[in-house]
Amino acid sequence: MKKSEIRFSIALDDKKVPEAISWSATDAGPDIHFAKAINIALWDREQAGTMKIDLWTKDMPVDEMKRFVVDNIGSMAENIVTATDDKEMAAKMRALCKELSDYLDKQEQGQ
């Protein structure tokens, strides 16, 4: 069986606020990659529930954070089709993404 590892490293300031997020993965080559935000969700077997880690750095702009959230919802829409073939649920999630993207576009035009 092939094994793959993903490692995250979080640099915190003295108030424990993330200043830098880096990651590496055995399947992504030897380079260290940097991110402004991460969103990790796990389905815990024991608790039969979701465990989440949401972190973002001080330099993550609000507009990018909002886009990050919309992108995550879109990614989950693709995941639900692949995992369950529930096209209706995916369509509703995509519709929400479209609505939120339009909202963000209007916000950005107003600035």
- Cα 53 from chain centre: 10
51-70 average pLDDT score: 96
- The CA distance from 93 to 80, in Å, is 10
Banded model confidence at residue 51, pLDDT cuts 50, 70, 90: very high
Please tell me the number of Cα atoms within 13 Å of 104 on its side-chain side: 16
Q: Tell me, what's the pLDDT at 85?
A: 98
Q: What's the confidence (pLDDT) of residue 28?
A: 86
Q: What is the DSSP string of 30-91?
A: S--EEESEEEEEEEETTTTEEEEEEEE-TT--HHHHHHHHHHHHHHHHHHHHHHH--HHHHH
